[in-house]
Structure 1
Amino acid sequence: MSRLIRLFLLFVFSFVALSVSAQKDSIPADLPKADNGEAPAMPISIEVGKSWYKGDSIPAVIFPAIYKYPPLDFANEKERQNYSRLVQNVKLLLPLAKMARATIVETYDYIQTLPTKKERQAHIDAVEAGLKKEYTPMLNRLSRSQGRLLVKLIDRETNQTGYQIAKAFVGAFKANLYQGISFFFGLNLNKHYDPEGDDRYTERVVRMVESGQL
C-alpha cells in the first residue's frame, strides 16, 4: 500500500467520528486496545435497561439483531477462497472502524467545551498522535485491498465517504489530492458503501460477525 494511502487511512482513522453526531449509548464504552500491533477484539454490543411487568421493574437486555442467511453456493474453489479471505479481513478491520468512531466520540463533548479553536485543535492533535503511535504498526501491514475495505467499513460506521471526511477537516484541495492519488491505486474515496449492491457480501459478513455467528 502506498505511503500516501497509508497516511490517509491514519488520518481518517483518527478523525472519522468528529464528522458525525454519534449516539454514544449504541457504542461499546470500553473497547480493548490493540495488542502488539494487532486488531483489538470486538465485543458484541448489547443494551441494558428495564421493563415494567405487573407494576414492577425487571431487567431488560436487548441483544443485537441476528440475521439468518442461507449457506452460500460457491461455483468453484476460487470463490470459496475469496469469501474466506473476506471473512478474515472483516474480522481484522471491522474493530478498527468501530474503534475509530468510538475513541473520538468519547472526547466529542469535551472538545465542545474548549473555548478556543487553538485549544480544540491541540486536543485533536494529541488524540491523533496517540492513535498513530498505537495503530501505525498494524496499518503499515495492510494491503491495498485491505485499505479499500477499511475505508468502506468506516463509511458504513459513519455514513460519510472518505472524501467527505477529508474535506471537512483538511479542505477541498487536500481532499481532492487524496482522491486523485487514491483513485490511481484503485480506491475511490467518493464511493459510498453499498450494502444492497456491490458490498452485499461484505454486509452479510459484517452482520454475522457483529452477531457472533462468525
Structure 2
Amino acid sequence: MRRIWLMVCLLLAGLSARAQNLDSLVRRAMASPHRGPHDTILVAGIVIGHDTLPYIGLPEVVITAEMPKALRKRLEEWTRLRNAVYVTYPYARAASRILREAEAQLAAMPDKKSRKAYIKKKEAELRATFGPQIENLSVYQGRILIKLIYRETGTSCYDIIKEMKGGFSARFWQTIAFFFGSNLKSTYDTQEDRDIEAIVQEIQHNPYYRYY
C-alpha cells in the first residue's frame, strides 16, 4: 500500500508541478494518514526543463577570520575619533556663532568698561548653556574640540582668550591645558587632520544630525 501511495504522489507531483503550489502539495502529503515512518522524505522542489529536482534551502553561514592587530587598532582609533568629533562638533559650531556675535557687539562698544561687562555677561550665559556638557568631556575630546574651534573660527582658543580676557588669562589657561595634555594654541589643517575633516564632512551631509 505504501508503494502504491508513493507512486501516486510522485505521479501527481510530476503532472501538476506547474499548476499547483508545491508547498501546499507537500503539506497535504505530509499530513496524509497513509504516510508511514519509512516513506520517502518529502522536500520542496524546483522544475528545471522537464525535471523536478529537490530543493533544500540552507541557512546562511558567515565565515570570518580574526582581524589583524594593526587593522583592529586602526579601527579602534577611528571609532574613538569619530565619537569625539560627533560629541564636540556642536560646541565648535556654537563657539563660532557666539564669537561672531560677540565681535559685532564689542566693535560697537567704545569704552573698556562696557566691553568688560558684556564679556562677563556672555561668559555667564555660556556657562549656564554649555558648562555641564563641556565639563563632562574627556581630555581626548577636549583636544578635538580645540582643533574644531580653530576650524570653525580660524582662530586658536589661546588667541580667542587673549583677545577677550587678556594675555594673562590666555597664559593661565594655556598652562592648565598643558597639564592635561592639551594645547590651546592647536591649529587645524585639512591634510594633517584629514581624518577629522572626513568625519566633519560626514556630519555635514547627515540630514539627521543636529548641531547648534
TM score, norm. by length of structure 2: 0.58
Aligned residue in 1 for 2:130? 135
1:209 counterpart (189, 203, 207): 203
**How far off its partner does 1:163 sit?**
2.0
CA contact (8 A) 2:85 2:200 kept: yes
| 1:165 partner amino acid | I
> Which of the residues 140, 156, 179 maps onto 2:174?
179
> Secondary structure in 2 aligned to 1:76?
helix
Distance, in Å, in 1 between the alignment partners of 2:184 and 2:99 is: 21
What SS does the aligned partner of 2:118 have?
A: helix
Q: Taking structure 1 as reference, are residues 109 and 178 closer, same or farther at Cα in structure 2, changes over 3 Å only?
A: closer
Q: Provide the rounded CA distance (Å) in 2 between the counterparts of 1:167 and 1:113.
A: 19
The match for 1:168 is 163
1:162 CA displacement = 2.1
Q: Which amino acid aligns with 2:197?
A: E
Distance 1:89 1:167 in 2: 26
Q: Greater Rg, structure 1 or structure 2?
A: 2
Post-superposition offset of 1:78: 2.7
| TM-fit CA distance, 1:156 | 0.9
Residues 133, 83 of structure 1: alpha-carbon distance in 2 compared, 3 angstrom cutoff: same
Q: 1:152 aligns with which of 132, 147, 150?
A: 147
**TM-aligned CA deviation for residue 144 of structure 1:** 0.4
Aligned pair count? 141
Structure 1 gap ranges (5+) = 1-73
Which moved further from structure 2: 103-112 or 149-158? 103-112
* 1:211 partner letter: H
User: Which residue pairs with 1:122 in the alignment?
Assistant: 117
**CA apart distance, 1:136:** 1.1
Within 5 Å, give how 1:20-99 maps onto structure 2: 75-99=70-94
Residue of structure 2 equivalent to 1:200 = 194
Deviation readout 1:6-36 (Å, 9 max, x if unpaired)? xxxxxxxxxxxxxxxxxxxxxxxxxxxxxxx
8 A Cα contact 2:147 2:188, kept in partner: yes
Unaligned runs of 5+ in 2: 1-68
What's the offset of the Cα at 1:115? Answer: 4.2
RMSD of aligned C-alpha atoms? 2.4
Equivalences for 1:100-115 in 2 at 5 Å?
100-115=95-110
Q: Per-residue deviation at 1:159?
A: 1.6
Letter in structure 2 aligned against 1:191: S
Give the AA of the match of 1:207. Q
Cα 1:138–1:203 change in 2 (3 A) is: same
CA distance in 1: counterparts of 2:116 and 2:145, whole angstroms: 25
Q: CA–CA distance in 2 between the matches of 1:140 and 1:183?
A: 17
Contact 2:109–2:115 under 8 Å retained in 1? yes
Identity of aligned residues (%): 36
TM-score (norm 1): 0.58
CA distance in 2, matches of 1:97, 1:82: 21
Aligned-partner Cα distance in 1 for 2:86–2:201: 11
